[in-house]
Amino acid sequence: MQPQPFRVGIAGLGTVGAAVLDILARRDNQLADRAGRAIRVTGISARDRSRDRGHDLGRYRWYDDALALAASGEVDCVVELIGGEGGTAKAVVETALAQGKHVVTANKALLARHGVDLARRAEAAALGLAFEASAAGGIPVVKTLREGLSGNTVSRLYGILNGTCNYILSRMESEGCSFADCLGAAQRLGYAEADPTFDIEGYDTAHKLAVLTALAFGVEIDSDAIYVEGISKITPLDLTMAAELGFRIKLLGVAERVGPDGGIEQRVHPTMVPRSSAIAQVMGVTNAVTIDADAVGELTLIGPGAGGRATASAVVADIADLAAGIVSPPFGRPVARLERADRAPMQRHEGGYYIRLTVHDRPGVAAGVATRMAGANISLESIIQKRPAGADRDKHGRSGEPVPLVLITYAATEAAIREALDAIAGDGLVSEPPQVIRIERD
């Protein structure tokens, strides 16, 4: 006898949901061979039934209420593609699990806030909660961390997890245009939303990092522990200086064990990475994740991090696993065995820094800055003053006008950097807030 088809209900038919329908239709036979049974979409739900999604929706049972789909006896697996950390999306997942149905989701915000509780519910019911599509789109980083690297101890994970930000920074570097101009281009091309705050201020990256940290280190999700800083203050001058110094600027999500107590530092911020590194070569909307582990050393995964087809690819892979009966603990180990990690405060972060100060071009300013840095026990690797061409200067070559003064430090703590910058501001040596970009070396 042929096994019964695996019945799938899809809640949310945006770009990703429509692409899931497309892949399931095109790869019907191959997926059936892989799963050992046919996969059939038996129900769909979305806010707008009349919207053209490129499919004959009359083939599927329509549910006006996504909760009714989640509770339907005609569905074995609910695919949640609604989005949002609570509300309908959360209710759909909870209802599906309560009704004995597997869940596949791409919802990083939901997982970052409620992932541990949802995983506990899934485990108690011996159901799958699969979320490969929640981080880095089509890159199989969830399976890599949960299964492929189970024989490793991970010490650090970092990556480019937002294609919108990477596109903007790549275009700013290649064309020398402003952040605002590149953001506008990203919006026209559909890479950025009309309200891009979630992407450009780092919150999307932070949600993805929260999920990957739990998988990498076997800890409970702690999204509130993540330091978050976006890219809206990056200027073409910073990108030019980075190139001169042998770096590129990327928005990175970083998680690593630090210090003798083994606390976990989680941070999202613009970062200078060596131009020779693998992650520095990742341009445009592409994503990348680098994992440092004891057995494999450094492993970098690069691929499409956004877009309907890439994300749908990850969703379908999860559906196929569940159809084949592959049900793993969502975070690689039972929830009861997830540790509650100590937080490593950002003030204790230690590393190199790029600091751009806007100072008046007059005698003693650079010396005053260097003195304050020394007073905070910060050693300077280099100090560069950029005087604009064509400005009137005195006999010593100084214009008296505001000019950028760029510092590169050796390893220093965040607390020491902030202490020195506060002192420099108190001395009246700067005319605007400083630009501070952390350096992530190999």
Q: Which residues are catalytic?
A: 208
Contact 3, 39 (CB under 8 A): no
For residues 26 and 343, give the distance between their C-alpha atoms in angstroms, rounded to a whole number.
46
List the structure tokens of 15. Answer: 């770009």
List the structure tokens of 95. Answer: 């209802």
Residues 165, 167, 170, 173, CA torsion sign: negative
Q: How far is CA 284 from the centre of its chain?
A: 15
Q: How far is CA 395 from the centre of its chain?
A: 51
For residues 307 and 59, give the distance between their C-alpha atoms in angstroms, rounded to a whole number.
25
For residues 35 and 41, give the distance between their C-alpha atoms in angstroms, rounded to a whole number.
15
If we measure between CA atoms, which residue out of 305, 315, 322, 310 comes closest to residue 11?
315
Contact 196, 309 (CB under 8 A): no
For residues 373 and 413, give the distance between their C-alpha atoms in angstroms, rounded to a whole number.
12
For residues 172 and 194, give the distance between their C-alpha atoms in angstroms, rounded to a whole number.
19
Residue type (1 letter), 138: G
List the structure tokens of 133. Answer: 């599509």
Residue 343 CB partners (closer than 8 Å, separation 6+): 222, 225, 263, 264
List the structure tokens of 356. Answer: 């751009």
Task: Give one DSSP letter per residue of 177-239, joined into a string.
Answer: --HHHHHHHHHHTTSS-SS-HHHHTSHHHHHHHHHHHHHHHTB---GGG-EE--STT--HHHH
Contact 355, 240 (CB under 8 A): no
| Unique residue bearing structure tokens 């603990």 | 329
Length of the chain: 442
**Sheet order of strands, 6-11 included:** 61-62, 39-45, 6-11, 77-80, 102-105, 129-130
List the structure tokens of 66. Answer: 């996504």
* Residue 298, strand partner residues: 292
Q: How many CA atoms lie within 13 A of 342 on its CB side?
A: 8
